[in-house]
Chains A and B, each alone.
Chain A
Amino acid sequence: MDIRQEFKHKLESLVGDVLRLGSMVDVAIQKAVTALVEDDISLAQQVVAEDEHLNRLRYYIEEHSAALIATQQPLARDLRTIIAAMYLATNLERMGDHAAGVARLVQRLHDTPYPRDLLPSFEQMAQIGREMLRGALDAFINHDEQAARQIGLRDDELDDLYNALVQRLIREIAQQPEYAQGITYLLWVAHNLERIGDRVTNICERTIYMVSGELVEFVDDIGESSFLE
Chain B
Amino acid sequence: MSWTLFDTLLLMLCVALATGWFLAMRREPPVPAPRFAPPVPVPAWWRDALDTAPLAIVVVQAENAVMRVVYANTSATAIFGTPVLPANIMVYFRHHTYMDLAEQVRRQNAPIHERLTVEDDRTFDIRAVPWHNKGQHGVLFFVEDVSEQVRAQRARRELAGNLGHELRTPLAGMKVWLETLAGTLDDPKTAAHIVERLQRETDAMTRLVDDLLALALIESGRLPLRLVATSLRDVIEEHVQRMNALAREKGVTIEYEVPADCTIMIDRDRFAQVLTNVLDNAIKFTPAGGRITIEGKCNDEDAFLHIHDTGPGIPPHLLPRIFERFFKIDRARTRGRGGSGIGLALARHIVEAHGGHIEAANAPEGGAVFTITLPRT
Residues of A bordering B, CB below 8 Å: 2, 4-5, 8-10, 12-13, 15-17, 19-20, 23-24, 27, 117, 120, 134, 141
Contact = CB atoms under 8 A, between A and B. Distances in A.
Contact of A23 (B32, B35, B90, B315): B90
B64 interface: yes
B66 A120 contact: no
A4 B27 CA distance: 13
B63 A19 contact: no
A23 B94 contact: yes
Given A23-B94, A23-B95, A120-B317, A16 B89 contact: yes
A12 B63 contact: no
B65 interface: yes
Given A9-B65, A23-B95, A16 B32 contact: no
Given A9-B64, A9-B65, A141 B91 contact: yes
A141 B317 CA distance: 37
Interface in B88-123: 88-91, 94-96, 99
Interface in B12-57: 29, 31-32, 35
Given A16-B90, A16-B91, A4 B99 contact: no
B88 A16 contact: yes
Nearest to A5: B32
B94 A117 contact: no
19 contacts: A4-B32, A5-B32, A9-B63, A9-B64, A9-B65, A13-B64, A13-B65, A13-B66, A15-B88, A15-B90, A16-B67, A16-B88, A16-B89, A16-B91, A19-B88, A19-B94, A27-B96, A117-B315, A134-B94
Interface string B170-201: 00000000000000000000000000000000
A24 B88 contact: no
Interface centre among A15, A20, A134 (most CB of B within 10 A): A20
B28 to A, nearest CB: 8
Given A5-B35, A19-B90, 6 more contacts: A4-B32, A12-B88, A20-B96, A23-B90, A27-B95, A117-B315
A120 B40 CA distance: 51
A115 to B, nearest CB: 12
Contacts of B91: 16, 19, 141
A9 B31 CA distance: 12
Query: Which residue, A5, A8, A16, has most C-beta atoms of chain B within 10 A?
Result: A16
Nearest to A119: B317
B334 to A, nearest CB: 16
Contacts of A9: 63-66
A17 B99 CA distance: 10
Interface string B314-329: 0101000000000000
B90 A2 contact: no
A134 B90 CA distance: 13
B245 to A, nearest CB: 35
Contacts of B29: 4
Contacts of B67: 16
B94 A12 contact: no
A102 B222 CA distance: 49
Nearest to A2: B32
A74 to B, nearest CB: 11
Which of B88, B95, B96, B315 has the most C-beta atoms of chain A within 10 angstroms of its own C-beta? B96
B68 to A, nearest CB: 8
A13 B95 CA distance: 15
A2 B35 CA distance: 12
Given A20-B90, A23-B90, A12 B66 contact: yes
Contacts of A134: 94
Contacts of B317: 120
Contacts of A5: 32, 35
A13 B64 CA distance: 10
